[in-house]
Each structure stands twice: as C-alpha cells, then as structure tokens.
Chains A and B, each alone.
Chain A
Amino acid sequence: MSSNALKTRTPPVRRRMTQQRAEGWRGWLFASPTALIVVVLFIVPLVLVFQMSASDWPLLGGNQGVNVPENFVDAVNNRFFWNAVGFTLLYTVVTTVILLVLALGLALLVQESTRWKGFLRTAILIPSALGLASASLLFYVLYSPIAGPFSDLMADWGFTFLGTPEGALWSTVFLIVWRYAGFYMLLMMVGLQAVPEEVYEAARIDGASRWQTFRSVTIPLLKPTLAMTMVLCITGSLLAFEQFYILTKGGPDNSTITVVQLIYSVAFQGPNNLGVAAALSVIVLVALVVINIFQIRVFNDKEPT
C-alpha cells in the first residue's frame, strides 16, 4: 500500500522540482547583471579596501606587505583623528536637526497652501538639481572676501564667512540646508500624502485641534518617512566631504576636518599612505553599520507590527 502510494505520488513531485529548478535558474539569469554590478562595483572594492587596510601601502610605492595592526594604531593616533570624529558628529547633529525640521515645515506649508503650491515646490526643489560640488563652488565665490558680492559688506563689518571656526561651520551648514531642504521636503510630502484623509476626518469629528492632529495623527503615521529621512541625513552628513573640501579645506586652523576629509588627506595630502587611509575607511564603515543598525532598531521597537 505504502509503496503503491509512493509510486503514484513521485512523478508530480519530481516535475514540480524540475520546474522549480528551471525557474530558479531563470531567476539567477535575470539577477545576474545586477549581481555582476554588485560584485564588480561593491564586493571587489570592499575586499580591496580590507586588504589595503591590512597592508603597508604608500600612495606612490604600491603594496609593501602586511602591516597589521600598525595601520589601525596609526589611524587612531593621527593627530586629527579625535578632532575629526568630534567635528563630524557635531556637524551631523546640527545638519540633521535643522534639515529635517525645516523640511517637514516646508512640506506642511506647501501642502496647506493651494495657490502657491506649484511655485513653492519648484522654488524649493531647484537647488537639488545642482551637484553638491557645483553648489559648493557657487558658495565659495559667494563667501569669498575678494571676489564675492558680499566682499564690501565683509570689509565694512570686519568679518569673513569662512574666517572663524564657527563661521565656517555655519556657512557650510547653510549651503547644505539650501541644497538639500527641497529634497527632504519632497520625501516628507510623499509621506504626508500617504496618510489617509479618513484619519484626519476622524480627528476633526473628535474635535481635535490642529496641534493635536499634528502630534497624534501626522507624526505617528509619518514615522516610516521620518525614519528613512533620518537614516539618509545622518549617513550623508557623517560622510560629508565635498562641501568642506571646496569651502574650507579643513580650515581655518584645522577646525573643520571631517572624517572623510581626514581619509582623503592621509591618502593624498602629505602622508600619502593608502594603508592608514584604508584603515580609517574601515573604521568609518564599521561605525556607520553600527549607527544604522541602532537607528533601525529604535524605529522598529516602537512599531507594533
């Protein structure tokens, strides 16, 4: 009985298996271009950086053999390492808070105002069409005490935008806010539009005030968007480079060196040591992974599902 049953059952199972296998192969076939790109552009460089971080690798001399853990010791002992970490964190907090609050405010404003909606949305979004390096160059000229339009003003008031550590930080933050506010506003608007109208209706029926609606309806339902924008903004700010490279070059008096800028300067401006630069990159990579896992956890915990 049992052997009989097995006999009748086997063929369909096998057919299903071969069918599945064929589908599996086809799946791999479809995925292979992406997989290839990921391998060539992500896995290979990643492996190389790990190899580099473990090797004595001068910029001009090439690989000179294993150098672990000296590279990591040198990286942490670099005289600008802790300054760079501190400054990068400060910059990240300042930028993230200002950008996200402003972006949410702008999104609400644009959503509320019906008459100027199109104009406002376009006006705020236009800077996002400019590359960050181009935008930084534009601001470099604007801030320049010799070529900029405010040079007379600066001469009269006796200050320069990039001349003091605080001035340099806030001038750069201003550039970043100008450049990215529109982008984050757009993300917030998409999030706001996903909130169903019925919920607002219910809130109105319950007699909730505007503030109550905002706090108890909009914010909780916007949480996935807030999480995403925060992850984007924090990661982007921790990796800040172009704006400081072009505007301040880490100055004045080495006060605005970010971590990525430190990597660049160790690799190309002086020590010319790719090994230590790669070690710094690995440290940044690990820190980013940890920070992002932490962020995702925090946002996940509060979600009931």
Chain B
Amino acid sequence: MARIKGHFARFTATAVAGALALTLAACAGGGGSTTTSADIPAGGTDDGSTLTLWTRAPLEKQAKLLVEAYNASHENQVDLTVVPNDDYVAKVGAAAGAGGLPDLFAADIVYAPNWASQGLFQDITPQIDGLEYKDTLNAGHLAAGTVDGKEHVLPFVLDLSMLFWNKELFKEAGLDPEKAPANLQEFADAAKAIQALDKPDTYGTATGLNCGGCLVFTWFPSVWADGEEVLSEDGAESLLASDTAKEVYSTWKDLYDSGAVLPSSVDEAGPTWTAGFTEGKVGLQFYPATLLSSTPFEAGVSGIPGPEGGQSTFVGGDGIGISKDSEKSAQAWNFLEWLTSEDAQVGVLAKNGDAVSRSDLASNEYSDADPRLVTINEVAAEGKTPLALNFQQAFNAPSSPWLTLVRDAVLNDGAKIDADNDEITSVLSQ
C-alpha cells in the first residue's frame, strides 16, 4: 500500500497543480503606470520601430491587409498576432496583469467600455481631437472607448450585421431577387417560401441559437429598426422584454417551429454560424458585412428590418487603442492616424469590400462599382453600438442570461421572458 500512497501523493500534487494552472495564467503583479499622451508629436513618429499588434481571428483578413499596406508604405513595421476569438479576453487579461500588452491591440467594440475604464488603453484625447475629420468617424466606436470624457479608442474594422439574401434561391422561390424584405414578417415569409422549395440540404434561414454574440449582433437591430432601445442609456438595465423585442422572438419562434431554420442553428455556438449561407444552402440570413468579399455567389444586401419595417444594423467589429504598457506611443499613434486616413479607409478597406469608418468616405471609387457597399455604408450611419460595462457576462458568455432568454423564447414556450430579462438586468447592474 505504501507504494500506492507515494503514487497518490505525487498524483494529487500534479492534479492540484493542474487545477490551479488555470487561475495562474494571470498571476503576475498588475498595476501599470498611465503614460501621458502630451509627448506624442502631431502625426506620430515614423522612425523604423517595430510595433506589436494583437487582434482576434474573425477580423484576420482585414487586419492583415491593413498591416501589409502600412508596412509597405512606412518605416515603422507592425508585427501582427491573430488570436482565436474565444481565447482573446483571457490572453489580453493575462498580458494586462503581467504588464505585457502589445503596443496596439484591438478590442471587440462591446468590450471597449470595460477595457477602457480598467485603464488598458492610453488616453489619446488630444490626438483624436486633433484629427480634422474627427466628426466623420463612427460615433458608436468613439463613444465605446470614451471614459469620463477621455477618448481611448479609434475604429479599427467595422463589422455590420446586414440582411443578406441568395438571389438564385430567391428566383427559384418566385421572389423578387432585387427587392429586400421590407419588414420582419416579409423576412419570415421569404424564408418559408425558400423552405417550401423542398430542395435537399437547403433551408430558409439560419442563426446561432447557442451563440450570445451572434444573437446580439443580428437580433438587436430588429428592435432598433422600430425605434426601440435594447439597453438603458447607462447600460445598467435591459429592455429586452419590450413588446417589440417579444415580437422579434415570436417571429423567430414561428420560423423555428415551421422548420425553416437550418437545423444545426439550434446548437450553433458560433464557429460555423455563417457557413450555411456561404455554402449557398441558406436562403437569407442576418449576416456580417465583413464576409461580403468572401461570399462566392450573387447576394443582395440591405439593413436588418424590424417588425414594423425600418432598418438598422449593429455597428460591431473592433476598436483599437494604444496599450498602457506601450513605450512607443508616438510610433503607435502614427499607425492609428494612418488607419483613419483615406489611404487606409478607401485604399485598403473599401477596396476589399468592407465598410469604412468615416462617413465622408462612404461614397468612393469602389462603392461606385458595387452599390451594395453604398447600402452598407449608409446603414452604418443609422446603426448602433450598445454600451454596457458588463456586456460580456450579460450577453456574450456561453452561460449568459441573454442566451437563456432567447432559448426560452424560441425553443420553449417563452413564458419566462420577463424573468430572464430581469436576470440580464441584474448582471448588467452588478
């Protein structure tokens, strides 16, 4: 038995160490000093420094194009690190605690209020205010990074949720392929019409019913389109049990019950939530506009409609700022200023079919060639970015009360919507 005891002791040691390793990812001491932005010269410094930049995987394509264009035209060189979406918060958190953040890093814009208020970004108010085109920058992104009047974040890549439809499938179902559904009911009718084609492996619509982030991104705009709000202004109260919101849920419940929703949507936790549409198996879907350039067939694009009509979009994507740990803020600002320039916005983003973050550039040489880009840029101006400090816990986390609400409302009878909404409020107001 002694042998087993020895083994046991050693094993317990390793087991315990394993359990603890998790919490140790961010063990080193925190507390970085805040650098002042006063010593950044206008336009930043381009002296051949190497800058590090972190972003998350969903925006990899845009980030790579931007970094390549910057490196080709500047002395400074940006070293890009792309982190898987699910690991990004943990990685940033660990680095923030250890004082090891890169010079520049992007934040999912819904986390920006929290990260900015925790002091992860340097205050660059004078620099942002110094941009002559500041008023044309996307207001939602700027507001997300503003704490107590101090600005920390510029828009990096905008990701807008839009209604995409497959024109081929629309034609087959006898729908007008050039006309967008005008309200949520028409959207549902179109999905059912495509489902009624009874084509193998083809479905009306799709979504991610186990993916809080996807649902926030694609369902909030339906509420906004009707002129309603999803959160109180201070981000501490959830308004997701309003009549409009309930109408949105019941439309989706009806779609789900009628079998017009891609079956795998029920368990979809995010990684493949857009795959069905991209493969041409789904008729129409609320879908990220960043994927326009990788959609291989003829697709129509419009804003997301509400129950009463109207249209809106979720202005998502990533904001970017200079980290508290960066000692090259002047060089980093050089990148940020270039990022908002016409060279980057039109020469890189618009060229790739992405939305621009400056309204004065909404109409440009590339958007003239593809009217869908004009639509996207126009709707972007009407879109919103919800602001809340506890956004991740309330909405994006796999165990969030928002997911519970949607699943109760769509997969069950929806009797608990009000209680679930109170649960969201209690998380938001913590």
Q: How many chain A residues touch B (Cβ–Cβ < 8 Å)?
A: 66
Is there an interface contact between B20 and A252, defined as CB atoms closer than 8 Å?
no
CB A223 to nearest CB in B, in angstroms, measures: 9
CB A24 to nearest CB in B, in angstroms, measures: 21
Q: Across the interface, which residues of B come within 8 angstroms of A299, CB to CB? A: 1, 4
Q: Which residue of B lies closest to A60 (CB)?
A: B118
Is there an interface contact between B16 and A288, defined as CB atoms closer than 8 Å?
yes
Complex partner residue of B398 from A144, A146, A265, A289, CB under 8 angstroms:
A265
CB B2 to nearest CB in A, in angstroms, measures: 10
Residue B302 lies at the interface, judged by CB distance under 8 Å to chain A: no
Complex partner residue of A239 from B13, B15, B115, CB under 8 angstroms:
B15
CB A249 to nearest CB in B, in angstroms, measures: 4
Residue A101 lies at the interface, judged by CB distance under 8 Å to chain B: no
Complex partner residue of B27 from A45, A144, A236, CB under 8 angstroms:
A45
Is there an interface contact between A292 and B399, defined as CB atoms closer than 8 Å?
no
Q: Across the interface, which residues of A come within 8 angstroms of B404, CB to CB? A: 253-254
Is there an interface contact between A232 and B24, defined as CB atoms closer than 8 Å?
no
Q: B84-99: which have CB < 8 Å to A? A: 89-90, 92-93, 96-97
Given known pairs A80-B399, A145-B263, A289-B12, the reply for A281 and B89 (CB within 8 Å) is no
Q: Which residue of A lies closest to B91 (CB)?
A: A268
Is there an interface contact between A146 and B399, defined as CB atoms closer than 8 Å?
no
Is there an interface contact between B5 and A296, defined as CB atoms closer than 8 Å?
yes
Residue interface bits A259-277, CB-to-B below 8 A is 1, else 0: 0100111011111101001
Q: Across the interface, which residues of A come within 8 angstroms of B398, CB to CB? A: 249-251, 265, 269
Complex partner residue of A46 from B20, B25, B29, B92, CB under 8 angstroms:
B20
Q: Across the interface, which residues of B come within 8 angstroms of A268, CB to CB? A: 89-90, 93
Q: A60-85: which have CB < 8 Å to B? A: 60-63, 80
Q: Across the interface, which residues of A come within 8 angstroms of B13, CB to CB? A: 38, 42
Is there an interface contact between A45 and B3, defined as CB atoms closer than 8 Å?
no
Q: Which residue of A lies closest to B7 (CB)?
A: A228
Q: Across the interface, which residues of A come within 8 angstroms of B17, CB to CB? A: 41-42, 45
CB A52 to nearest CB in B, in angstroms, measures: 7
Q: Is the interface of A mostly helix, strand, loop or mixed?
A: helix
Q: B385-409: which have CB < 8 Å to A? A: 390, 392-394, 396-400, 404, 407
Is there an interface contact between A251 and B267, defined as CB atoms closer than 8 Å?
yes
Is there an interface contact between B27 and A232, defined as CB atoms closer than 8 Å?
no
Is there an interface contact between A61 and B392, defined as CB atoms closer than 8 Å?
no
Given known pairs A58-B118, A145-B263, A253-B407, the reply for A274 and B1 (CB within 8 Å) is no
Is there an interface contact between B93 and A271, defined as CB atoms closer than 8 Å?
no
Is there an interface contact between A252 and B393, defined as CB atoms closer than 8 Å?
no
Q: Which residue of B lies closest to A167 (CB)?
A: B267
CA distance A147 to B19 in the complex (A): 33
Q: Across the interface, which residues of B come within 8 angstroms of A232, CB to CB? A: 11
Residue interface bits A136-155, CB-to-B below 8 A is 1, else 0: 00000000111100010011
**What is B's interface to A at a CB cutoff of 8 Å?**
1, 3-5, 7-8, 11-13, 15-27, 29-31, 89-90, 92-93, 96-97, 114-115, 118-120, 210, 263-264, 266-267, 269, 272, 275-276, 390, 392-394, 396-400, 404, 407
A-B contact pairs, 12 of them (CB 8 A): A38-B13, A49-B23, A59-B89, A63-B30, A224-B1, A227-B4, A249-B210, A254-B404, A263-B22, A267-B25, A272-B93, A292-B8
Given contacts A144-B272, A239-B19, A272-B89, 6 further A-B contacts (CB under 8 A): A59-B97, A224-B3, A227-B4, A268-B90, A270-B397, A299-B1
**What is A's interface to B at a CB cutoff of 8 Å?**
38, 41-42, 45-46, 48-49, 52, 58-63, 80, 144-147, 151, 154-155, 158, 160, 162-163, 224, 227-228, 231-232, 235-236, 239, 241, 249-254, 257, 260, 263-265, 267-272, 274, 277-278, 281, 284-285, 288-289, 292, 296, 299-300, 303, 305
